[in-house]
Structures are given as C-alpha cells and as structure tokens.
Amino acid sequence: MKLKWALLSLVLTIVTVLTGCEPLMVLDPKGPMAERQANDIMISIGIMSVIVVIVFAILVFVLIKYRASNQDPDYEPPHIEGNKWVELICVGIPVIIVAYFSFVSVQSNYIVEATPKGYEDQEPLVVYASSSNWKWHFSYPEEDIETVNYLYIPTDRALEFRLYSYGPITSFWVPQLGGQKYAMSDMVTTLHLAADEPGEYMGRNANFSGKGFAENAFNVTAMSQADFDDWVKEVKETAEPLTKEKFDELLKPGHLGQMTFTGTHLAFSLPPEHNHKPSEAAEDCETDTVKENVQNHVEHKE
C-alpha cells in the first residue's frame, strides 16, 4: 500500500511540474530552419514511441502466454534450429528504420546548410558573429555597425552568419531559429537562418569554453525590415565609434553587458582567411564585402 501511494505521489508531482513548464524552444520554431529540425525531432520521437509500444506489447504477450503456470507440468519445448521469418523481422525492420532515419538526416542537412526555402531570390543580411571569452561580437558590414551580446535582425529576410572565434571553440545557437554551428579561431563557418515572426529569442554558446561558459549568452530581437532600418539609423546617430584600442579591451576575458558601436572591428581585425563555404562564388562575395567595408571605413575616418 505504501509503495502504491509513493508511486501515485511521484506521478502527481511530475504532472504538476510539467504543467508549469514552457514549451521546449527547439519544438517552438520561429523560422524555416528550426521548423525543419523540429519536424525531424517529432518524426524521430513518433517512430521510437511506436517501436517502444510494440516491443512492450510483445513482451507482455510473451510473459502471459508462455508463463510457467500456463503450461503442463510435464511440458517439454520442441527443439527448434531457427525461424527464418523471425530472423528476417528482427534484422530487417531495424535496417529499414535506420535507413529511413539516414535518408531524413541527409536530406535535412542539405536543406539547413542552404539558403532558407523561399528566400533564394533575396539578398541576405550578412552578420559576422565572433566570440571571445565570454561574449559575442556581431558585425554588420553593410550597415557599418557592431553590437556586443545582442543581435537585431529583420524578419522575412535570409540571414547569413559568418562564425569565428577569438578564443576557444564556441558554438553559435539560437534554438528557435535553427541548429548550432561551431565558431573556430582558424576558419570561418557559415550558418543560414531566417525569422518568420517578430519576437525576443534566446541565443547562447552551446559549447563549453571555460568558467564563464554559463553566462556566454546573447539576446536576439526579430523585427520588421522598417523597424530594423530605423534601429540602424538610430545607432549611427547615437553610438560611439569602435576603435582598435576599445576592441582589444573587449577581447579580454570577462563578462560584459550589451554594447553598441558605429563601425566594425573588420576594419582592423579581419576574419580568418580560411573559409568553410558552400561554394567558391559565395567565398568571393564574402571577401569582396569585407574588403569594401574596410575601404569605406578607412575613407570615412579620413
């Protein structure tokens, strides 16, 4: 009786706790990439749930039908060398499941590594996202502004993040917009995202990078293109310019709040030369953009 009440109390406690939880961010997508990955997760959960139910149903059936009390006392099981149908089912079904999961995974990888569907004919917003201990620097070369520990993005527009690190390997992750990707010190990786609706989203470093890892997070605000343009205009009118001395100070290990600057560190600290790009044309486009931004920055200062 005590065991029964203990199990009942445990179930009620779990149900009570779960009712107060917000939906998992990875299952609450706000962009096409995150939606694709959320669908893959739900497909995996669904298939695995069916497998678990079937296996337990077979287990219960076998335990009941072939229990010792259900047989004659002098029953002797027949000698069986094997059953090809049982062996075919036991081997064939897992092979089919693994093959299906492999197909879905490969297909999804190609989709999330490309420009979001529906945005192919649109010029993406390029943002250089670089990490240092323990903060994030976001450079907008086209807008010629830079932010620290927060990110403003327009909705309904392709986003192209160039990721690299000024310290240990980190991982850029905004769960409601898409999957994570590594940022490394010797190469630039590219992450394609898009936001379908305005809102406040959480982003963070998903790779352990030292004692300040727990607070290595940033805020993401998605807004309309008009609101984004107004924000860019306001930054250029009110923010202070980013100098090399100030940027070197920002790179020192520690935690900072949100900061905003005109100009970007790309003018005096270019990303790594090695680029992990989906195509040579995209790499050439990126290089030209950075060089053009540097030239414009120098001319502006002169």
- What CATH number is given to the structural domain containing 48? 1.10.287
Residue 234: how many other CB atoms lie within 10 Å: 11
Residues 147 and 71 grouped into a single domain: no
Say how many domains are in the chain.
2
pLDDT average, residue stretch 51-76: 86
Q: What is the per-residue pLDDT for 8?
A: 61
Asked whether residue 145 is domain-assigned, the answer is yes
Least confident of 25-29, 153-157, 243-247: 25-29
285 pLDDT above the threshold of 90: no
Residue 101 and residue 158 share a domain: no
The residue that leads in pLDDT, 259 or 4, is 259
How does residue 182 score in pLDDT terms, banded at 50, 70 and 90? Answer: very high
Instruction: Say whether both 231 and 160 belong to one domain.
Output: yes
* Contact status, residue 142 vs residue 296, Cβ threshold 8 Å: no
pLDDT tens digits for 83-133?
A: 888 889 889 999 999 999 999 999 999 999 999 988 988 899 999 999 999
Looking at the structure, do residues 71 and 192 belong to the same domain, yes or no? no
pLDDT in tens, 220-243: 999 999 999 999 999 999 999 999
Do 175 and 233 share a domain, yes or no? Answer: yes
Residues 83 and 47 grouped into a single domain:
yes
Tokens matching residue 130: 């670089």
pLDDT at 1 (0 to 100): 55
Q: Rg (Cα) of the chain, in Å, rounded? A: 27
Q: Which SS3 state, helix, strand or coil, does residue 270 take?
A: coil
Q: Check the CA dihedral 230-260-222-257 and report its sign.
A: negative
Instruction: Kindly state whether residues 169 and 265 are assigned to the same domain.
Output: yes
d(CA 125, CA 208): 28
- Specify the pLDDT at position 131: 96
Q: Examine the fold and report which residue of 91, 112, 133 is the final residue of a domain before the chain moves on.
A: 112
For residue 52 the two structure tokens come to 């678990």
Say whether both 152 and 90 belong to one domain. no
- Positive or negative torsion for Cα 223, 225, 230, 236: positive
The pLDDT assigned to 82 comes to: 79
Structural domain for 197, as ranges? 125-301
- Residues 183-210 have pLDDT tens digits of 999 999 999 999 999 999 999 999 999 8
pLDDT band at 180 (very low <50, low <70, confident <90, very high): very high
pLDDT per position as a tens digit, 6-55: 656 665 666 555 444 556 788 899 999 999 999 999 999 999 999 999 99
Do the domain assignments include residue 208? Answer: yes
Q: Tokens for 138, please give them.
A: 């976001």
Same structural domain for residues 150 and 174? yes
Side by side, which strands form the sheet with 240-241?
Answer: 240-241, 259-262, 145-148, 135-140, 125-132, 159-165, 188-193, 275-276
**102: in domain:** yes
Instruction: Give yes or no: residues 221 and 150 share one domain.
Output: yes
DSSP H or E run through 241? strand 240-241
Would you say residue 95 lies in a domain? yes
Same domain, 100 and 130: no
**Token pair belonging to 229:** 């343009």
Asked whether the predicted pLDDT for residue 141 surpasses 50, the reply is: yes
> Whole-model pTM?
0.79
CA end-to-end distance (rounded Å), the chain: 84
Residue 3: per-residue pLDDT:
58
Cβ neighbours for 36, distance < 8 A, ≥ 6 positions apart: 108, 111, 112
What CATH number did the domain enclosing 289 receive? Answer: 2.60.40.420
> What local confidence, expressed as pLDDT, does residue 113 receive?
92
Residue 119 lies in a domain: no
Q: What's the confidence (pLDDT) of residue 14?
A: 61
Residue that finishes a domain, picked among 84, 112, 140? 112
